[in-house]
Amino acid sequence: MPNKTSKPKYKRILLKLSGEALREKSLHDTISPEIVHRMAAEIHAVHQMGVEIGIVIGGGNIWRGLSASHRGMERTTADYMGMLATVINGLALQAGIEELGIQTRVQTAIRMDSVAEPFIRRRAVKHLEEGRIVIFVAGTGNPFFSTDTAAALRANEIGAEVLLKATKVDGIYTADPMKDPKATKYNRLTHGEALAQRLNVMDSTAFSLCQDNRLPIVVFDFFTPENLTKVVLGKSVGTLVTPE
């Protein structure tokens, strides 16, 4: 475990978490309290280093709008339902983090004032500067955009120094390593290479947003203990995607 004098490489980060990561496969629960607690503990460790943390969370454990549209549901409605699923996940994560004594704010792209703050960029930045963790939910507030794109958008809006894409594999591969045993891992890529090779880890809109604004991305395995801390310290973990 890095000691308390370890200096983080990044002062402000945007962490992208998938909704599906909240689900325990062996159980029927869509949200596992145990997984939420483990996530919160990893985030807490980085927060204790003085890092300002924004989080975008998906909703795939509850509802996937694109999948529903492929089964015949009207796409716009399906996507709005997916946005609401991210709100549920964001509130669950907020509860887990606040149990550890860290103030958080949930900001939503779709107004629901009884549940969360509306997304206001200046307010979000102020929360970060005051040591609060900000969880961004409801995607971009628009259908046809993924939560990966929402993460790229929010990262640029709040001035994050890096977008950390948390997955269940240890980086970007030439193919799905779960399906292709010959898949090889990239340690480093450029945004242009990732787009040209149509690597499936993020959608092209998200990659393009990061490329246009020269925002680096780190794709890493969130579920290996202390990996998030190592990434923030600048250790060689996962795959780094850079402007050039």
Cα angle vertex 186, ends 176, 226, to 5°? 90
Give the residue carrying structure tokens 């997955």: 167
- Residue 7 DSSP one-character state: P
Q: Which residue spans within 18-161 are E strands per DSSP?
A: 52-57, 104-108, 117-118, 133-137
Kindly report the pTM of this predicted structure.
0.93
- Residue 200, pLDDT score: 78
- Model confidence at 27, pLDDT cuts 50, 70, 90, reads low
DSSP string covering 137-153, please? ESTTSSTT--HHHHHHH
Quote the percentage of the chain above a pLDDT of 90: 79
Hey, what CATH topology would domain 12-242 get?
A: Carbamate kinase (3.40.1160)
* Residue range 151-160, pLDDT digits in tens: 999 999 999 9
- Model confidence at 71, pLDDT cuts 50, 70, 90, reads confident
Kindly state the average pLDDT of the residues 111-138: 97
Rounded-to-integer distance, Cα 58 and Cα 68, Å: 15
Say if strands 117-118 and 185-186 run parallel, antiparallel, or are unpaired.
Answer: unpaired
